[in-house]
Amino acid sequence: MKPTLIAAAAAATALIGATSAFADDDIIEKIVDSGTLRVCHAEAAPWGVKDPSSGEWKGSDVRAAAHLAETMGVDVEHVDATWATLVPSLEADKCDIAMAPIFRSPERAMRVLFSDPAGYETMGVAVRADAGIESYADLDQADKTVAVISGSADEAFANRFFKQAKIHPLVTDKISTLGIEAASRRVDAFLTDTSTLRSVVGSNDAMKLTIVEPDNPLNPQGYSYAMPLGEYAFQQFVNIWQINADQQGLKEQWHNEFAN
Tens of pLDDT along 202-214? 989 999 999 999 9
Superfamily of domain 122-220, CATH level 4? Periplasmic binding protein-like II (3.40.190.10)
pLDDT of residue 22: 57
On the question of pLDDT at 257 being above 60, the answer is yes
CA distance readout (Å), 222 to 115, 134, 211: 11, 27, 22
pLDDT of residue 5: 38
pLDDT of residue 23: 63
Residues of the chain with CATH 3.40.190.10: 3-120+222-258, 122-220
Superfamily of domain 3-120+222-258, CATH level 4? Periplasmic binding protein-like II (3.40.190.10)
pLDDT of residue 14: 45
pTM, two decimals, is 0.76
More confident residue, 239 or 5: 239
Distance of CA 189 to the CA centre of its chain: 21
Please give the mean pLDDT across all residues of the chain: 90
Convert the pLDDT of each residue in 43-83 to its tens digit: 888 999 999 889 999 999 999 999 999 999 999 999 999 98
Angle, nearest 10°, between helix axes 175-183 and 194-202?
60
Convert the pLDDT of each residue in 131-152 to its tens digit: 999 999 999 999 999 999 998 8
Rounded Cα gap, residues 87 and 83, in angstroms? 8
pLDDT of residue 172: 87
Q: In the structure, what pLDDT confidence band is assigned to residue 30 with cuts at 50, 70 and 90?
A: very high
